Structure 1
Amino acid sequence: MIRPAADPLSAGVHTVEVEGVVLRYHVHGTGPLCVAHPGGPGFAWEYLRMPELEKQLTVVYVEPVGTGGSDRLPSHPHGYTRARYSRHLAAVIDHLAVPRVHLLGHSHGGFVAQYHALHRPDQLAGIVLYDSAPVTGDEHVAEVMRSVQEFAARHAGHPELAAVLGAFAAIPAIADDEAMLATARGVLPAYLADYWADPQRWAPLGESLRATYISGLDEHSAPDQVDDREPLAALAMATLVVAGRHDVVCGVRWAEELYKLIPASRLVILERSGHFGHLEEPGRFADEVAAFVAADHS
């Protein structure tokens, strides 16, 4: 098929206006199409760049509203709900002018992908829930704290451990972009399977991070909580659930629960990864996702 000159899937940076705000997205790679939604909320898309996957798929990296080069809401830092992200995602997918896409959501992007699959299944051929969870709130926070304690026990005595634990303790006080970025860099060693085994490899990841403070509250200052357990049990969509064995944020407990909840799901655990399996085990991650996208889900 010959596409017009203004091809929405040509390699590079694109913009689209949705609900009065301008969103950016980036197209890289070649092959079947996969749309990728980053996490945070508030982390710029670059950390999710997946060069190995781009060798097998065309990846459209969305910059969600309020993040990176996309516009902020007038209510910033509030109002960034899953419903809004999903509406914007729907407009971007429509703009791509393809029948259906595979959607990959990482971390908070997984929460968005779940919501989109439940509310706009007509747009999707399948979803990849990458380091996601079916719930947020107190139960999720308690699991994170348990995982952080395990991380601390594994690295007891390390001279930089106290700084990492201090960064976790500072999370509730984040109130601006500067604090958001500082905290993201501070907790990074806990987000990887073994940061301190090769810190020179991973330090550039922290230095390259860009982050925006997003409150997690809607425009009425109410928390945008997630509890998808009941609806996901009725989700009739092919789903690949991916998690790192050592992920302290959305780890194996949640991946296994998603797998048990969603009828047409497959589970992949990356044994040598934390929260960034696309960087820690790029080859296996890419092969698993590309095979899922290429499969016949009918």
Structure 2
Amino acid sequence: MSGIRSFSLVPGWYDFEFDGVRQAYEIAGSGAVCVVHSGGPGINSDYLRMPLLEQHLTMVYLDPIGTGRSDLLPGGDYSVSTYARFSKAVIDHLGADQPYFLGHSHGGFVGLELAIRNPGLLAGLVAYSTAPVYNAELFEEATREMEAFVARWPDQPDAEKARRAWRSASYARNTLLVDRESRIDWLRAILPAYFGDYWKTVARTGPAAFDVTWDPARKDSDWDARRTLDRIDVPTLVISGLYDVICSRRFSEEIHAGVPNAQMLQLNQSGHFGYLEQPDIFVQAIVEFTR
């Protein structure tokens, strides 16, 4: 059973120092511990709040290093392995005994790397709308998926706007997006492509809330875990949206095939944000998985 030191069971924001850097996290809910890592990179954790899961799990929402309430990283080495090292530090700091780890998008890269590098650390891994690679191949596939998205919504001007924005810059790496405001504007423009039906979802839930922190010293590096997925020794739930543009189901299928003890849930009406589009199925699958 996952555990956590009693002082951290109190809901609220906390932080600690690791390698001279402040790492912030929020506690919410009750039950077995689940560490949650947001995507991006550079997107704060606020968008990933899951109150339905907080009824079943103690959710530990990280503001990843370089975002939100956490410090920027001296030297700018924001590699996937660095994020995984800081996630391990959070687990150690909490004193959690085999927590679960839920990583969304870029946070899923981190979860895979964490499990590969630390056998036996986790009770289970949820790889949510993610991929086993972070390189040009990922963005080339996303560009093809963007074209498919526009073809599905030929009468929506915002779909064409999303395609133009995607072509103009790569959120992760293009130096044209040099500050917080330009990145938020870019995200708002491409956001419709991240949903199975953005217009239906926004009408029901309202606009997605997100914020961005961007370190001008940030250095990214390529990452490809496909040859080492078989080292993951914990049960893994792979969740994929049928219409996911940025982390297409092809990549989820590669994770499912490569991890020895993996199961896969495909959300047939969702894109990159299945929790918002099909929350009941999403929550039920994770509750059953964490039992």
| Superposition TM-score, scaled by structure 1 size | 0.90
Counting only pairs closer than 5 Å after superposition, residues 142-221 of structure 1 correspond to structure 2 as 142-171=140-169, 172=174, 173-197=176-200, 199-201=202-204, 203-205=206-208, 208-213=209-214, 218=219
Q: Secondary structure at the match of 2:164?
A: helix
| Contact 2:116 2:231 (C-alpha < 8 Å) held by counterparts | no
Q: Secondary structure at the match of 2:42?
A: coil
**Per-residue CA shift, 1:77-131, capped at 9, x if unaligned?**
x311122212211111011112211111100000000110011223211111001
| Contact 1:38 1:45 (C-alpha < 8 Å) held by counterparts | yes
Structure 2 residue aligned with 1:127:
125
Q: Secondary structure at the match of 2:126?
A: strand
Confirm whether residue 264 of structure 1 aligns to residue 264 of structure 2: no
Distance 1:15 1:234, change over 3 A: closer
Q: Secondary structure at the match of 1:28?
A: strand
Structure 2 residue aligned with 1:92:
90
Structure 2 residue aligned with 1:282:
279
Structure 2 residue aligned with 1:244:
241
Distance 1:264 1:69, change over 3 A: same
Structure 2 distance, partners of 1:94, 1:100, is 10
| Contact 1:136 1:227 (C-alpha < 8 Å) held by counterparts | yes
Confirm whether residue 44 of structure 1 aligns to residue 56 of structure 2: no
**Counterpart among 78, 81, 99 of residue 79 in structure 2:** 81
Structure 1 residue aligned with 2:139:
141
| Contact 2:147 2:163 (C-alpha < 8 Å) held by counterparts | no
User: How far did residue 270 of structure 1 move?
Assistant: 0.9
User: How far did residue 204 of structure 1 move?
Assistant: 2.5
Confirm whether residue 67 of structure 1 aligns to residue 67 of structure 2: yes
**Per-residue CA shift, 1:119-173, capped at 9, x if unaligned?**
1223211111001111222221221011100001011132223321122123233
| Contact 1:80 1:216 (C-alpha < 8 Å) held by counterparts | no
Distance 1:234 1:92, change over 3 A: closer
**Per-residue CA shift, 1:167-196, capped at 9, x if unaligned?**
212323322211111111111101011112
**Per-residue CA shift, 1:223-266, capped at 9, x if unaligned?**
41111111003322211100111110112111111101111000
Aligned-partner residue type, residue 179 of structure 1:
S
Aligned length: 284
Distance 1:283 1:2, change over 3 A: closer
Q: Secondary structure at the match of 2:134?
A: coil
Structure 1 distance, partners of 2:58, 2:4, is 17
TM-align CA RMSD: 1.9
Name stretches of at least 5 consecutive residues in structure 2 with no aligned partner.
none
Distance 1:115 1:52, change over 3 A: same
Aligned-partner residue type, residue 45 of structure 1:
S
Structure 1 residue aligned with 2:9:
9
Name stretches of at least 5 consecutive residues in structure 1 with no aligned partner.
none
Counting only pairs closer than 5 Å after superposition, residues 110-125 of structure 1 correspond to structure 2 as 110-125=108-123
Structure 1 distance, partners of 2:195, 2:205, is 9
| Contact 2:43 2:210 (C-alpha < 8 Å) held by counterparts | yes
Structure 2 distance, partners of 1:80, 1:224, is 8
What percent identity do the matched residue pairs reach?
A: 39
Structure 1 distance, partners of 2:58, 2:81, is 26
| Contact 2:45 2:68 (C-alpha < 8 Å) held by counterparts | yes
**Per-residue CA shift, 1:254-295, capped at 9, x if unaligned?**
11111011110000001111111111111111111121111x
